[in-house]
């Protein structure tokens, strides 16, 4: 006998109880809205009949409607009594005794009607993000205003209408206008007086002024208990229970900072509540600014530069959406982190000098910044930062005093901040790219092609300084892996925003909503409009990876290529540049079919003159005879002028001389240096050899590595020539690569 598995029953979540729901409905409508959407009611502000007949999440929505109707029938009398008593109390406090016979016939009825209208309006229309302010609050305010205006005929003016700017003034005008209109329509004697009384009475209840004295008294009490008696009271502050508090609460900022010492999660919740309540936003921002500055100061003291660079912490929420001061601090932290990671005193000094410049730029930026974060950064972070920079600079200077400077950088691509002084021999390529960009008659796409480690990425990194009239967006598919069109466009838009703000102080639009390709197309259109007279160059490095980036439907790749083609054809200011090792004729036809008007810019190894200059005189401070011309010529011969290997030989050689406490190299130093190079550049050698073996066969590659002259097919010669691996006479162009192949793969057998 088989037993069927009973169906899974999903329990319906319980809504707040009646009194709690009433409180949320009147005092915390925004919290209620978020709570309901969390329950699955996607549109809680819809009319009740739409909620009742909705097909999706019907049990939840009908349960919500039942609660609303229940609230309508029993909450109206209760609220009428409460607000009647509030009006009586306020009238007595302000010296306006009320005739209770008139009250019973006028004010109380007006209040009851107003409350009923307000609650019914809020229920019938659902709960919007400001539903109570428009529904219940307006209804109550109108009801009280009608009651006061009709029952006291302007005698009760509350004395609170004057001197409050902005929203209150608008409330007065609204109240007066409605009151006059009602007075005239119903023939009430002295309609203007009636309207003024209505307007003045309307304001306190619309802006919830009757609650304010209680709130400030309660806030002050909580703060004093916490501050003087050490009793945690942050969980009792009024802002947690009232979303629409329009006037500031005293000592709230200090209370949040005090509570953050023992319960940071609660402090973060209070700051989030402050962001909702209009009158408490400044207090929340001030507390958050203090806590962020404090966290940055602590990270600086502990030299947690990586966290500072990524703006990661409890109070710091990352780079995306960060304010300008935080992004400027990130630049300082980036240089400090680089100085921390390098072992070369010369590089440390460079990074620290750049950090000083970035700090000065930040200080200038904050001169006219009156935000709480800026003020706290000036007092809490700047003095510590100045002390740290001075100390580290003195230590690095002392370490570098008796050493050769080592400006060479191998491994990571060069950037304007790191390695610009050793970026040589590519000015002509930059001019070629600039000419293609500025040609008004052509809408070219550009392919920057060259072998691996020849400096393509370094050239792309330098384009913002080489092309000052263009906005250059560098997007490396290797550093931004994506497996869907949505991920690709999201990452591209984020990198574009970061780089444009950093390099050009330009705010690019975020990726709009919509399907991935619709959003991407609209974003590119917005860039084209925003550019004005400047070109926006989107550089996609390692472009060959796009074919494997979307493992699902191949149509995604075709749609992306179609969008690229449309951009080339129809966007006047936005240009595309792709960079890689393979030419389009070696790839799928999808590339050549979509990249129209393609202009190739080829990157080769450095010529001999440039390579010798790089090695013998990388920077003006480098001693003239430290690396002599004969030694530089030997290094160029062994490397074939490949920039990566030139930098590697130079860096290892200078480090070797410093270890030997010497100031000048000789030819005998190249053997131990080359041994280190073969080890440290193993990744490059391995991949270069495997790629070549796949293209031309393992046997042919080993013969080339052994120095043999062999007959190559046209395809083999073309492949090797494009990657700068053979000379004109058919020899291997990088002898040190041949040495690695012989040592790792062995000599080819005859």
Q: What is the dihedral of CA 178, 125, 167, 244, to 10 degrees?
A: 140
User: Quick check: 213 and 200 in contact, CB under 8 A?
Assistant: no
For residues 329-357, average pLDDT: 92
What does the pLDDT average to over 381-397? 94
Burial of 498 (0-12, 13-18, 19+ CB in 10 A): middle
Using CA atoms, how far apart are residues 236 and 227, in angstroms rounded to an integer?
Answer: 14
Q: Are 696 and 672 in contact (CB under 8 A)?
A: no
Apex 278 CA angle, 274 and 279, nearest 5: 80
Arithmetic mean of pLDDT, 730-739: 94
Q: Which residues contact 514 (CB under 8 A, 6 or more apart)?
A: 522
In sequence order, which residues have a C-beta less than 8 Å from that of residue 320 and are 6 or more positions away? 494
pTM of the prediction?
0.70
CA atoms in the 13 A half-sphere facing the CB of 409? 23
Q: Helix or strand or coil: residue 578?
A: strand
The answer to whether residue 119 scores a pLDDT higher than 60 is no
Of the two residues 707 and 46, the one the predictor is more confident about is 707
**Count of residues making up the chain:** 750
**3 state DSSP class of 227:** helix
Distance CA 722, CA 699 (A): 20
pLDDT band with cut points at 50, 70 and 90 for residue 211: confident
Q: What is the pLDDT of residue 124?
A: 45
Vertex 293, ends 287 and 296: CA angle to 5°? 140
User: What pLDDT sits at residue 147?
Assistant: 47
Position 377 pLDDT exceeds 90: yes
Note whether 307 and 313 are within 8 A (CB): yes
Neighbouring CB atoms inside 10 A of 402's CB total 10
Residue range 405-426, pLDDT digits in tens = 999 998 889 998 888 899 999 9
What percent of the chain lies above the pLDDT cut of 70? 74
Three-class SS state of 97: coil
Domains and CATH numbers, the chain: 18-207 (no CATH), 209-276 (no CATH), 290-401 (no CATH), 426-602 (3.40.50.300), 608-668 (no CATH), 682-745 (no CATH)
pLDDT at 206 over 90: no
Residue 551 confidence (pLDDT)? 64
SS3 525: helix
């Amino acid at each position: 006998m088989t037993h069927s598995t009973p169906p899974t029953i999903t329990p319906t979540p319980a809504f707040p109880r009646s009194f709690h729901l009433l409180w949320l409905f009147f005092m915390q409508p925004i919290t209620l809205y978020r709570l309901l959407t969390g329950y699955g009611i996607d549109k809680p502000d819809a009319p009740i009949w739409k909620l009742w007949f909705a097909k999706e999440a019907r049990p939840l929505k009908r349960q919500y409607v039942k609660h609303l109707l229940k609230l309508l029938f029993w909450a109206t009398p209760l609220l009428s009594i409460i607000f009647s008593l509030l009006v009586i109390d306020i009238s007595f406090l302000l010296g306006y005794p009320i005739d209770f016979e008139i009250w019973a016939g006028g004010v109380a009825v007006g209040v009851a009607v107003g409350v009923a209208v307000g609650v019914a309006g809020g229920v019938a229309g659902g709960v919007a993000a400001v539903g109570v302010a428009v529904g219940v609050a307006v209804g109550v305010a109108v009801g009280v205003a009608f009651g006061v205006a009709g029952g006291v005929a302007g005698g009760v003016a509350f004395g609170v209408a004057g001197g409050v700017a902005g929203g209150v003034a608008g409330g007065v005008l609204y109240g007066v206008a409605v009151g006059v209109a009602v007075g005239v329509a119903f023939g009430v004697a002295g309609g203007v007086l009636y309207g003024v009384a209505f307007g003045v009475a309307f304001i306190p209840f619309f802006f919830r002024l009757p609650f304010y004295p209680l709130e400030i008294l309660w806030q002050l009490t909580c703060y004093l208990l916490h501050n003087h008696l050490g009793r945690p009271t942050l969980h009792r502050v009024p802002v947690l229970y009232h979303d629409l508090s329009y006037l500031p609460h005293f000592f709230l900022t200090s209370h949040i900072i005090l509570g953050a010492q023992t319960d940071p999660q609660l402090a973060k919740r209070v700051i989030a509540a402050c962001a909702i309540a209009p009158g408490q936003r400044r207090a929340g921002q001030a507390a958050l600014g203090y806590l962020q500055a404090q966290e940055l100061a602590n990270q600086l003291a502990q030299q947690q530069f990586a966290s500072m660079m990524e703006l990661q912490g409890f109070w710091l929420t990352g780079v995306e959406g960060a304010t300008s001061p935080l992004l400027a601090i990130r630049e300082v932290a980036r240089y400090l982190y680089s100085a921390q990671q390098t072992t070369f005193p010369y590089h440390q000094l460079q990074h620290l000098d750049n950090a000083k410049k970035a700090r000065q730029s930040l200080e200038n930026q904050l001169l006219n910044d009156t935000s709480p974060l800026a003020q706290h950064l000036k007092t809490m972070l700047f003095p510590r930062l100045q002390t740290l920079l001075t100390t580290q600079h003195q230590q690095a200077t002392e370490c570098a005093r008796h050493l050769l400077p080592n400006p060479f950088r191998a491994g990571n691509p060069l950037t304007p901040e790191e390695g610009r002084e050793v970026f040589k021999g590519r000015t002509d390529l930059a001019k070629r790219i600039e000419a293609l960009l500025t040609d008004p008659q052509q809408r070219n796409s550009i392919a920057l092609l060259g072998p691996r480690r020849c400096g393509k990425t370094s050239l792309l990194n330098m384009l913002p300084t080489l092309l000052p009239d263009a906005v250059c967006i560098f997007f490396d598919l290797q550093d931004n892996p994506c497996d869907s069109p949505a991920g690709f466009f999201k990452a591209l838009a984020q990198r574009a925003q970061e780089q444009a703000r950093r390099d050009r102080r330009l705010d690019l639009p975020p990726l709009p909503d919509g399907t991935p390709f619709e959003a991407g197309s609209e974003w590119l259109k917005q860039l084209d409009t925003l550019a004005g007279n400047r070109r926006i160059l989107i550089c996609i490095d390692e472009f060959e990876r796009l074919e494997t980036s979307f493992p699902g439907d191949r149509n995604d790749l075709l749609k992306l290529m179609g969008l690229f083609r449309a951009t080339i054809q129809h966007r006047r200011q936005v240009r595309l540049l792709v960079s890689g090792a393979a030419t389009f004729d070696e790839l799928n036809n999808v590339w050549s079919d979509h990249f129209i008007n393609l202009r190739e810019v080829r990157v080769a190894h450095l010529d001999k003159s440039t390579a010798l200059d790089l090695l013998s005189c990388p920077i003006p401070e480098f001693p003239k005879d430290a690396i002599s011309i004969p030694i530089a010529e030997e290094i160029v011969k062994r490397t074939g002028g490949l920039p990566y290997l030139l930098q590697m030989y130079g860096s290892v050689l200078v480090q070797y001389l410093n270890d030997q406490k010497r100031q000048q190299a000789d030819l005998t130093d190249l053997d131990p240096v080359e041994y280190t190079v073969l080890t440290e550049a193993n990744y490059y050698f391995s991949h270069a050899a495997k790629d070549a073996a796949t293209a031309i066969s393992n046997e042919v590659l080993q013969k080339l590595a052994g120095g043999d002259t062999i007959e190559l097919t046209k395809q083999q010669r073309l492949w090797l020539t494009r990657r700068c691996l053979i000379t004109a006479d058919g020899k291997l162009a990088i002898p040190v690569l041949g040495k690695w192949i012989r040592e790792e793969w062995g000599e080819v057998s005859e």
